[in-house]
Amino acid sequence: MNTRTIPQGALDLIKSYESLELEAYLCPANVWTIGYGHTGKDVKRGMVISNEAAEELFALDIARFTQGVLRLLKVPVTDNQLGALVSLAFNIGLGAFRESTLLLRLNEGRYEDVPEQFVRWNKGRNAYGALIVLRGLMRRRTAEVDLWLAE
């Protein structure tokens, strides 16, 4: 198993966009969420966790997403590039990441196409179910592109 980790800057980026919630809440996708964007069968309505538990869940989630991204990559990436990819996958899910044009282009060695592919993931559904550009996602994608391009 590859034991690569992502840089602190990537962890900080993910935390800043996920924000810490110690009480379970329904996210816009109608999924119970807690901590730093942690979801799963273990998250239930009314659940409350400590800061320490949130950090532990985050570390486990990051390890899972990092390994998931690494399994899907067929080309080398820098630590910052890996961090940007993990941030995207953390947000959209490994299933969507696996099927993304971003991953397809990257695995074809088309590194120069990756930044514009990040930006395509800037939409969410409004109350009527229509896809719209969300400012928060646009900011996150811009931060991920900046991390992708960082030396």
Set 18, 21, 99, 112: catalytic member: 18
Across 36-117, the runs of DSSP E, i.e. the strands, are 38-39
Please indicate whether residue 151 is annotated as part of the active site: no
Q: Which two tokens stand for residue 11?
A: 């962890």
In terms of Cα–Cα distance, which of 68, 151, 149 is closest to 111? 149
Across the chain, the runs of DSSP E, i.e. the strands, are 21-26, 32-35, 38-39, 123-125, 131-133
Question: Parallel, antiparallel, or unpaired: how do β-strands 123-125 and 21-26 relate?
Answer: unpaired
How far is Cα 99 from Cα 121, in angstroms, rounded to an integer?
13
Residues assigned a catalytic role = 18
